[in-house]
Each structure stands twice: as structure tokens, then as C-alpha cells.
Structure 1
Amino acid sequence: MAWVFLLLAGAGEMTAMFFLKLSDGFRKRVPAVFAILAGGASFYFLSLSLNELPIGTAYAIWTGIGSAGTVLLGIFFFKEKTNRKKIAFITCIIAGVIGLKMVS
């Protein structure tokens, strides 16, 4: 169950960043509230995952999911520019997350 909690924490992190972008620096209230709620949910699920997983592994995977996922959200929803190097480095992050899961 700890891995499910960690995946939910990563999804919460991505969701928080998505709404943070939409909040326009907290000038738009509804997206700002969703950003805060998603961030809180992310921390909550991360804390639940830490009951079984080592803190270093959980944190690295949480930040990896959040980082790679947020870059992909930016590309698909906010039309941020991409190139081969960006995709290659995102792939490295994802490979690192998978590697940590395999050795944990």
C-alpha cells in the first residue's frame, strides 16, 4: 500500500503545480485553493508512504514523479517548448524512479 500512497503523492504534486500555474501567482482564487488542497494531499500521502518506505527512496521517487510529470503537463497543457534534450533528461528521471522502485 505504501507504493500506492507514494504514487498518489506524486499525482498530488503534479496537480498542485498544475493549479499553481493556473492561479497566476495566487491572483485567481479557485485555482489557488485547488493548488493548496492538492499540495496538502500530496504531503499527506507522502507521509503515509513513509510508514513503510525509506525516506530517501520515497522522497526521490516523489520528487521524480512530480518533476517529470510537471514537465509533461507543461508540454501538453501549456504548450511549453520541448526538444530532444528535454525529453532525454525526463527519460533519465523516469528511469531513475523505476530503478529506485526495483531496488527497494
Structure 2
Amino acid sequence: MSWMYLILAGIFEMIGVTMINSLHKNGNWKSLFFMLVGFGLSFVFLALAMEKLPMGTAYAIWTGIGASGGAILGMVLYGEPKDWKRLLFITLVLGSAIGLKIVS
């Protein structure tokens, strides 16, 4: 269950990051609300995951999901560059997270 909490924490981190971008572009209260909810739930689920998982592993995977997911959402939703170099390094981040799961 801890791994599921960690994945949910990463997904909510992605939502929070996406809402930061939305807040800068739109400046509306909905973006602010969803940003706060996204980050709040992200921290709650991260804390739940860290009850069983080592801190270093949990934090590395949480940030990896958030960073790579945020980059992918930026490409899909906001037209950020999709060149092969960005995709390669996103793949490396995700591969590292999977590697941490395998050795944990």
C-alpha cells in the first residue's frame, strides 16, 4: 500500500505543478485552489508512504514522478518542446525511480 500512496503523492505533485503554471497564465482562484489541494494531498500521501518506505527512496521517487510528470504535462498541455533529448532524460528519471523500486 505504501507504493500506491507514493504514486498518488507523485500524481498530486504533478497536479500542483501544473496548477502553478495555470495560475501564472490565468491568475484565477480555481488554479490557486487546485494548486493548494494538489500539493496538500501530495504531502499527505508522501507522509503515509514514508511510514513504511525509507525516506531517501520515497523522496527520490516522489520528486521523480513530479518532475518527469510535470515535464510531460508541460509538453502535452502547454506546447513545451518535445525534442528527443528531453524525452531521453525524462526516461532516465523514470528508469531511476523504477530501479529504486526494484532494489527497495
Aligned length: 104
Secondary structure of the residue aligned to 1:81 is coil
Residue in structure 2 matched with residue 28 of structure 1 by the alignment: 28
1:52 aligns with 2:63: no
Residue in structure 1 matched with residue 72 of structure 2 by the alignment: 72
Residue by residue over 1:3-59, the C-alpha shift from the partner in whole angstroms, topping out at 9 and shown as x without a partner, is: 000000000000001111111178321111110111000000000000000000000
TM-score (norm 2): 0.96
Partners of 2:42 and 2:50 in 1: CA distance: 12
Q: What amino acid does structure 2 have at the position aligned with 1:61?
A: I
TM-score (norm 1): 0.96
Partners of 2:44 and 2:12 in 1: CA distance: 10
Residue by residue over 1:46-95, the C-alpha shift from the partner in whole angstroms, topping out at 9 and shown as x without a partner, is: 00000000000000000000000000000001010121111111110011
Q: What amino acid does structure 2 have at the position aligned with 1:75?
A: M
Partners of 1:37 and 1:91 in 2: CA distance: 28
Residue in structure 1 matched with residue 90 of structure 2 by the alignment: 90
1:14 and 1:66 in contact (8 A); partners too: yes
Which runs of 5 or more residues in structure 1 are unaligned?
A: none
Secondary structure of the residue aligned to 1:23 is helix
Instruction: Name whichever structure is richer in helix by fraction.
Output: 2
Residue in structure 1 matched with residue 38 of structure 2 by the alignment: 38
RMSD after superposition? 1.2
